[in-house]
Structure 1
């Protein structure tokens, strides 16, 4: 099968390309860092994609900075939001007869009780700083599904090149004692190792599945549980506890919501429809 991976140099793409090749697919890896077209340039994208003539287009396009500022989340994500809207539109226009598989996120569900399945509402009433990100995600998912494609909603990415890698920004913040537990630390995190994100794509190629699937590990954890355990595991100081009102002054409304209101996701549907299992069942099992 001819598979085009857009965003092949990203955290997931670097795991995905060798896996696809190993199982016998003919892979075209595209990224700007390796001389590929600017996916925001419609003409260049159409020319490059049509030259590759893919059976499947895997959309892993992002441009996320290595370090994020919660107060500037909209500005920091502006390039990624454009890739999720304009870039997705260009990829679908370039390969209208191909199957499309796109990366989304599983931590954008509206706050609620229990784990979210794929029918749970998205966080359309998120704090103002996150609103552009949500609009872009909704557009990406809508366009992909209207094209008869599959959206893979990944959790907080871990593994090589992620913010939880040894030199990743979150790991460094925890080591420096700069990542506190805000309020009760009630956010529930569902993690996804980059290798598991890639194996879900490989599994999807063999199955005619559409819609959206949560591709997350088996062990959702409240921040108040995983952050102290992670700090102990990497030899960092115990995280401080900061009241929400005090944290709001430093990180804004979205920063507080990220630490206190995120909802974890359920992976049952991905396990059933893709016959997929995460090799990395728990973030803490993998943390060094």
Structure 2
């Protein structure tokens, strides 16, 4: 199958390209980096340097690629989590404007299926339950979480707006593993090493993670599965009070401190409190059933 991957330089790009090639697919990776072009070619993929904000250029690339399936992994995220406020507007523009160009070009060039990166961690579920694929994104959350939820809602609405192409929404959990924030020496690990990420209040907010390689496996499985929405998360949705101390131990950091919601709101803002106390974990039952997917256990819960 001819597969076009936009965002081939992102966190999931390298393992996704590798998984596609391992499964015999012909892959064209879209990037803005000459250096990344060489890496993609060394993996065995074709590479095209394309500016997502130039619609004609994107369409020309897709016509050249003769893609049957387009995978939209477009993001613009910082290396450090603390820099997210500086990147938020650019990230949204890339996903909405650049991704819009990609979506329209996919239809115009005759691609039959479009896979869209979405979120499995900003979902809204009834208290004490896990979010499933019918759960909405929490557009009434704390300010930056609500903004992200609105962006993902727009992406999913666009994805299913046309009968001319099959849509698949990939609601990934928080990525962990090599070259992600949640890996020794990377952003989240460094924060817990410096004790900058406390357990907030009762730490009851439930996070769903997914190993970057498992996310790639599920994405490839979604190439031929029934269209629709899939929560791509592991089997271990965990409250912050459980996963954060375990993660700290895994990376060799001190035990995280405890802080009250009032204290953290004053110091770091509402969004940090939301992550710690309000997140709804997600169920992966559909992905396991339909995709035949078997994600690994959350790594630091095994440590």
Give the TM-score normalised by structure 1. 0.93
Q: Which position in structure 1 is the counterpart of 2:57?
A: 44
The equivalent of 1:198 in structure 2 is 216
Per-residue deviation, 1:237 = 0.9
Q: What is the match of residue 66 of structure 2?
A: 53
Contact 1:68 1:76 in 2 (8 A): no
> Partner of 1:65 in structure 2?
78
Pick from 270, 274, 282 the counterpart of residue 298 of structure 2: 282
Over aligned residues, Cα RMSD in angstroms?
A: 1.6
Identify the residue that residue 102 of structure 1 maps to in structure 2. 116
- May I ask how many residue pairs the two structures share in their alignment? 283
Structure 2 residue 142 is matched with structure 1 residue 124: no
The CA deviation string for residues 87-111 of structure 1, in whole angstroms up to 9 with x for no partner, is 2211121120311001111011125
Distance in 2, Cα, partners of 1:94 & 1:216: 29
Report how far residue 202 of structure 1 moved: 1.2
Query: Which of the numbers 234, 252, 272 marks the counterpart of 1:255?
Result: 272
Following TM superposition, by how much is the alpha carbon of 1:204 offset from its aligned partner in structure 2, in angstroms? 1.3
Question: 1:102, 1:150 within 8 Å by CA — same for their partners in 2?
Answer: yes
Q: How do residues 195-234 of structure 1 correspond to structure 2 at under 5 angstroms?
A: 195-207=213-225, 209-234=226-251
Partner residue of 2:259 out of 228, 242, 265: 242
- Say if 2:155 is the partner of 1:140: yes
SS of 1:103's equivalent?
strand
**1:175 Cα deviation from its structure 2 partner:** 1.2
- What is the CA-CA distance between 1:135 and the residue it aligns to? 2.0
Which residue of 1 is the match for residue 181 of structure 2? 163
1:3-28 per-position Cα deviation (integer Å, ceiling 9, x unaligned)? 00101111111101011111111100
Q: TM-score, normalised by structure 2?
A: 0.89
Tell me whether 156-165 or 28-37 shows the greater mean CA deviation: 28-37
1:283 positional shift: 3.4
Q: Residue 126 of structure 2 aligns with which residue?
A: 112
- Structure 2: state its 5+ residue gaps: 38-48
**What is the CA–CA distance in structure 1 between the aligned matches of 2:291 and 2:144, rounded to whole Å?**
34
